[in-house]
Amino acid sequence: MDLLGTASTVTISCYALLSTTYKGMQATYARPANGSSVSDNLASPDLWPSVDVIIPCYNEDPRTLFECLTSIANQDYAGRLQIYVVDDGSGNREAVTPVHQSFARDPNFNFILLHKNAGKRKAQIAAIRRSSGDLVLNVDSDTTLAPNVVTKLALKMQDPGIGAAMGQLTASNRSDSWLTRLIDMEYWLACNEERAAQARFGAVMCCCGPCAMYRRSALLLLLDQYETQTFRGKPSDFGEDRHLTILMLKAGLRTEYVPDAIAATVVPDSLGPYLRQQLRWARSTFRDTWLALNLLPGLDRFLTLDVVGQNLGPLLLALSVLTGLAQFALMGTAPWGTVLMIVFMTIVRCGVVALRARQLRFLGFSVHTFINVFLLLPLKAYALCTLSNSDWLSRNFAATVAVKDGKQGPVPNLTTESSTTILSGDAVQNRMRHLARDCSVLVTSDE
């Protein structure tokens, strides 16, 4: 056998062994543990912790922002709830002002208008320093919450040893395109396999930005570190959620995942924005992996395997693909061993997930393998070579308002009647119930 063929066979075999072990243990640990030591009922409102919801906004579509705020206004939380909307120097402030005004009369809403764009992290900190709740819930402005999200997360945070908890993410625009359908399945896997398995050991490595709750007492102790994060002497202005999660773990606190706290967020519907998002996330993951390495000796050995699998696995797969392509280009022989192994692993993986989720749509996730091999692997290599680049990449592409045929779409009148919020809230809740129906299958099937 030629050298390139041998190298391709060895690397794909190593990848298959690592991936099978890692994913197999992940699927096992992702199943919920029997029983719970946390009470699911606090009868008196006085017993519920106060919660501050913080929503940083930058050039958000008015309709999307309105849906986000409506879903928060309709939370069924029994304790004190305050909402802080931080406009981070948006260029479309005139367009979103009617949205602000529609909620301005609600005493639970507070609006902070920053004069110039300072970044998501600075916007969050501005609200944290003006608020005083026991718990802080960070929500992205393109995210809608199921009515019980604050309640579910606050119940999990009863344990004083927990510093942060995240809910389950879905794609609110899942039906828009083939890509949004794939991303929705990708989110399901990230939440219900990766995060669920990490939560078994109290160490979710990234409490995702669209819906993550933090304990204020711990947050205040870590705020300076969070605000002043740098990489190679440059301020870091993305990857906020992952970095803050790692800081919580370094402080000795646990981080958790709550699968029945459902949050639906807008995802990219075309490849360009999706790849820019993935490039940011890849850089963030590589940067904070170094911080996480110091934590691993004190955590369960599975979490070491988790970190190795997420970082070494793509490298082995990339090497096997590169050596296979070199074999084909130089020797004229197709690397059938590598191709068949990737196909086999994809079929098994998608089949197992379809059974676990009880949803045949996951068989279609096999298409993601092509995106991973031909787009995401080269992108991760580029991210590793450009770690010092802190460009947000998507800021120039942020939406101002809905546009059709080159003209600005009409902004709905949200200021005249308070009933507007109630009616729209019903619509948002109906959509969330529809999304939750898919997501609840895992919870019911694993009980």
Give dist(CA 375, CA 180) in Å, integer.
16
**What's the pLDDT score for residue 370?**
95
| pLDDT 10s digits, 377-403 | 999 999 988 887 766 555 444 443 333
**What's the pLDDT score for residue 290?**
81
- pLDDT grade, residue 239 (50/70/90)? confident
Q: Judge whether residue 193 has pLDDT over 50.
A: yes
87: which strand partners? 57, 113
Phi-psi region of 265 (alpha: psi -120 to 50; beta: other; left: phi over 0): beta
Model confidence pTM above 0.85: yes
Show contacts of 275-279: CB within 8 Å, 24+ apart. Answer: 275/375, 275/379, 276/393, 276/394, 276/397, 277/393, 277/394, 278/376, 278/379, 279/379, 279/382, 279/383, 279/393
- Extended beta strands in 115-253, E state: 135-139, 143-145, 162-171, 211-215, 230-231, 234-235
| pLDDT 10s digits, 48-71 | 999 999 999 999 999 999 999 999
SS3 347: helix
SS3 263: strand
| pLDDT 10s digits, 341-367 | 999 999 999 999 999 999 999 999 999
Show contacts of 198-201: CB within 8 Å, 24+ apart. Answer: 198/255, 198/257, 198/303, 198/306, 199/255, 199/256, 199/257, 200/29, 200/30, 200/33, 200/302, 201/29, 201/299, 201/300, 201/302, 201/303
**What's the pLDDT score for residue 69?**
98
- pLDDT grade, residue 6 (50/70/90)? confident
**What's the pLDDT score for residue 431?**
54
| pLDDT 10s digits, 65-104 | 999 999 999 999 999 999 999 999 999 999 999 999 999 9
**What's the pLDDT score for residue 143?**
98
57: which strand partners? 87
Determine the angle formed by the axes of helices 120-130 and 216-227, rounding to 10 degrees.
140
Quote the radius of gyration of the chain (alpha carbons, Å): 22
Match 């955590």 to its residue by tokens: 299
- Tell me the average pLDDT across 317-329: 91
Q: Are 222 and 244 in contact (CB under 8 A)?
A: yes
Give dist(CA 191, CA 197) in Å, integer.
9
**What's the pLDDT score for residue 395?**
47
**What's the pLDDT score for residue 249?**
95
Percent of the chain, pLDDT > 70?
84
Domains of the chain: 3-27+303-385 (no CATH), 51-300+413-445 (3.90.550.10)
Q: Are 182 and 371 in contact (CB under 8 A)?
A: yes
| pLDDT 10s digits, 258-311 | 999 999 999 999 999 999 999 999 998 888 888 888 899 999 999 999 999 998
Q: Are 165 and 258 in contact (CB under 8 A)?
A: yes
**What's the pLDDT score for residue 396?**
45
Give dist(CA 307, CA 57) in Å, integer.
32
Q: Are 203 and 303 in contact (CB under 8 A)?
A: yes
Q: Are 147 and 260 in contact (CB under 8 A)?
A: no
